Amino acid sequence: MATAETTAAPAAVKKPPVQLTEAAVRQVKFLLARQNNPNMFLRVGVKGGGCTGLSYVLNIEAEKSDWDTEYDVEGVRLVIDKKSKLYLFGTTLDFDTSNLVEGGFTFLNPNATKTCGCGTSFSA
């Protein structure tokens, strides 16, 4: 009796709603390495609040929920919850070192109709 050999199809690569610049990838990898825990990942999200209605969430975490989707961005584990995905689609996360006062992580969000001066909150 012949047996059929089956091979699993490769998993579809999910395109993340948030892209990371080379500088952001480098900085996140640095921060993750300092945690000395392979379970850690970068969480990017949105929550209500801030001076324009919504605030960005950017954390290093180790626990995911059922509402989260994980992506791989150049070796960085990126996790985004389903609600935040709607507001973040097309966003680029950058890490700016050109201005020491206002430098750091910055969000370039095409969905933002209004942003605050500090760049940490927006409305869509």
CATH number of residue 90's parent domain: 2.60.300.12
63 is a domain residue: yes
> According to the model, what pLDDT value does residue 112 have?
72
The pTM assigned to this predicted structure is: 0.80
> According to the model, what pLDDT value does residue 50 have?
66
51 is a domain residue: yes
The span from the first CA to the last CA of the chain, in angstroms, equals: 62
91 is a domain residue: yes
Q: Tell me the three-class secondary structure of 91-119, residue by residue.
A: EEEEEECCCCCCCEEEEECCCCCEECCCC
pLDDT digits 0-9 by tens, 46-91: 887 766 678 889 999 999 999 999 999 999 999 999 999 998 999 9
60 is a domain residue: yes
> According to the model, what pLDDT value does residue 40 have?
96
> According to the model, what pLDDT value does residue 48 have?
79
pLDDT digits 0-9 by tens, 87-105: 899 999 999 888 766 679 9
70 is a domain residue: yes
Amino acid at position 72, single letter = D
Which segment of 12-16, 78-82, 119-123 scores lowest on mean pLDDT? Answer: 119-123
29 is a domain residue: yes
Domain that holds residue 41: 18-123
22 is a domain residue: yes
96 is a domain residue: yes
Give the total number of structural domains in the chain: 1
CA 73, 26, 95, 35 dihedral sign is positive
Nearest one of 121, 117, 100, 99 to 109, comparing CA atoms? 121
